[in-house]
Amino acid sequence: MPSPPSPAMPPTPTSAIQLGLPRITSLLHSLQSPHLQTPIIHISGTNGKGSVSAYLSSILLKSGLRVGRFNSPHLVEEWDCLQLGGRNVRREVFEGTKEEVEEVDRREGVGATAFELLTATAFTVFARERPKLDLAVVEVGMGGLTDATNVVDPERTLLSMITPIELDHQKFLGETIGEIARVKAGIVKRGTEVVLAGQAHGEVEGVVRGVADEMDATVWLAGEGSVVEEKEAIAEAEDQTPLPPLVSLPLTPLSIYPSSTVPPPPRTTHLQARLPLPGAYQLSNSATALLASQLLRTSPRCLAMLPSLSGITDESMKEGIESTRWPGRLDWLALPSPRQRMKLLVDGAHNPSSAETLASYLTSLPPHIAPTTLVIGLSFPRDPASILAPLLSSSRISKVVCTPFTPPPSMPWIRATGAEEIASRAKEWDVEVEVVQSVEEAIEGLKMGERAVVAGSLYLAADIYRWVRGRGE
């Protein structure tokens, strides 16, 4: 029988997914509780967390607030997951802080996971920023209840937000929508407000209301924007990408639970803005962020915690929506020379529901803009058919290029599905199928004028941005 490890040898950080709060709580305590220094807005859900956080952060920045943001996973480089004032944190600040966190983890023998170390780094960066941050927008890593980000007290939580919930990560979160919703609603804090996005599954609202009852919280149900018909048709952009539509977004909730809560009436019930992020689902994401902004500037509890929220205006909300950027989600990316006139559509669709959303967007495009080639890479053990079926059954895709992606160095549990395995499933459809060994090979193999969409994984999207960034240096 092997001997147990010596107490003098602290456990090394583990890279495996291990949900739970004891390790992160211990680590943050040893770091002097940086997570209690900055008020946060906490966002969970399955789809749309990143877009909602981007809209909301942009609105808050346009309102003159000093804002931090934590999203995961990172897109290109690890420090991309942290923003301060709308810009990525400086690499040296991120790496220096993370080294300190890792040293404390080793010294105290915590054995934190890779994501727990990253979360502790984020909270520490936020706490040390000068001038001091007003607030931070924090996206859950996985789930909610036992996620490493779920450590901030109610007294420092301005809002909780829950975006659309779908089946995903069932191994960790539960096998049904109701079970997953219960875990994701675990971020709701006692006596706080919750903004709930519109849901495709009716049971989600009931589950969230049940958690709200337990936590004496209030649920604000967000509506959805609508496209405004403009009297004069607007020509397409010169680069052959769709122009942002003008939309009308509601400032009032569809409902408030419990109904005894009566908010002050807004000066206007809707706000018009041009929606910079494409896709029909952005009508919901932007409306969810706008309702959160409305709540932040009117809630007595939020204003008592952070009086400067009163600086949120209709104009700053409009400007914030229109200036939002979110790479990796229906992003029309200009390719570097010699393909400078070619645009690639990049989307991180990685589960069946997001693939259906991408398919819907593709079918909405005019024939001379719509991609006809799909470059796809998937994380193992995702079933390729679950992503291919929506994309090949209802769009103009006639060619599929299958490729692996580069596994992120800090997440060794992530690995790419073999390109040959994806290709074997793609051949079930009447399309041309190619197998390549890298994103570089896939993109460099595109013919001039070939219209392509890249999808299947955010890690694949990261490879694309890394490739473009390298060609631009």
* pLDDT tens digits, one per residue of 46-60: 989 999 999 999 999
Angle between helices 384-393 and 419-426 (to 10 degrees): 40
Give the pLDDT of residue 430.
94
Does 146 share its domain with 225? yes
Domain-terminating residue out of 293, 322, 351: 322
5, pLDDT greater than 60: no
The average pLDDT across 421-431 equals: 96
For residue 15, is it within any domain?
A: no
Does 55 share its domain with 190? yes
For residue 5, is it within any domain?
A: no
For residue 121, is it within any domain?
A: yes
Query: How sure is the predictor about 394, in pLDDT bands with cuts at 50, 70 and 90?
Result: confident
Inter-residue contact 318 to 241 (CB < 8 Å):
no
pTM: 0.83
Query: How sure is the predictor about 236, in pLDDT bands with cuts at 50, 70 and 90?
Result: low
2, pLDDT greater than 50: no
Average pLDDT across the chain, whole number: 90
Give the pLDDT of residue 51.
94
Amino acid at site 467: W
For residue 348, is it within any domain?
A: yes
Does 234 share its domain with 146? yes
Nearest to 54 by CA among 330, 325, 296, 246: 325
Query: How sure is the predictor about 3, in pLDDT bands with cuts at 50, 70 and 90?
Result: very low
76, pLDDT greater than 50: yes
Print the domain residue range for 113.
22-322
Q: Which helix (H) or strand (E) holds 380?
A: none
Domain-terminating residue out of 299, 322, 345: 322
Does 300 share its domain with 340? no
Does 134 share its domain with 273? yes
The residues with which 438 forms a beta bridge, in sequence order, are none
Residues 6+ apart with CB under 8 A from 183: 143, 144, 145, 146, 173, 174
Give the pLDDT of residue 472.
62
For residue 13, is it within any domain?
A: no
Does 343 share its domain with 417? yes
Does 232 share its domain with 355? no
Which CATH number goes with the domain that contains 467? 3.90.190.20
Domain-terminating residue out of 294, 322, 350: 322
For residue 357, is it within any domain?
A: yes
For residue 288, is it within any domain?
A: yes
Query: How sure is the predictor about 7, in pLDDT bands with cuts at 50, 70 and 90?
Result: very low
Cα separation, 228 vs 43, whole angstroms: 29
Does 220 share its domain with 100? yes
Does 137 share its domain with 241? yes
| Count of structural domains within the chain | 2
Q: Is the dihedral of CA 443, 452, 345, 377 positive or negative?
A: negative
List the structure tokens of 348: 């991180």
6, pLDDT greater than 50: no
Give the pLDDT of residue 240.
56
For the segment 343-366, what is each residue's pLDDT rounded down to a tens digit? Answer: 899 998 888 888 998 999 999 898
Cα dist from 16 to 9, 94, 111, 119, 158, whole Å: 20, 22, 11, 15, 31
Does 227 share its domain with 292? yes
Amino acid at site 348: G
239, pLDDT greater than 80: no
Query: How sure is the predictor about 45, in pLDDT bands with cuts at 50, 70 and 90?
Result: very high
Cα separation, 320 vs 54, whole angstroms: 9
The average pLDDT across 208-226 equals: 97
Strands of 38-176 (E only): list them.
40-44, 67-70, 82-84, 87-88, 135-139, 157-162
- Answer whether the bond into residue 250 is a cis peptide, omega within 30°: no
Give the pLDDT of residue 36.
97
Does 75 share its domain with 174? yes
Q: Between 354 and 140, name the one with better pLDDT.
A: 140
Which CATH number goes with the domain that contains 282? 3.40.1190.10
Does 135 share its domain with 155? yes
For residue 12, is it within any domain?
A: no
Q: Which helix (H) or strand (E) holds 190?
A: none
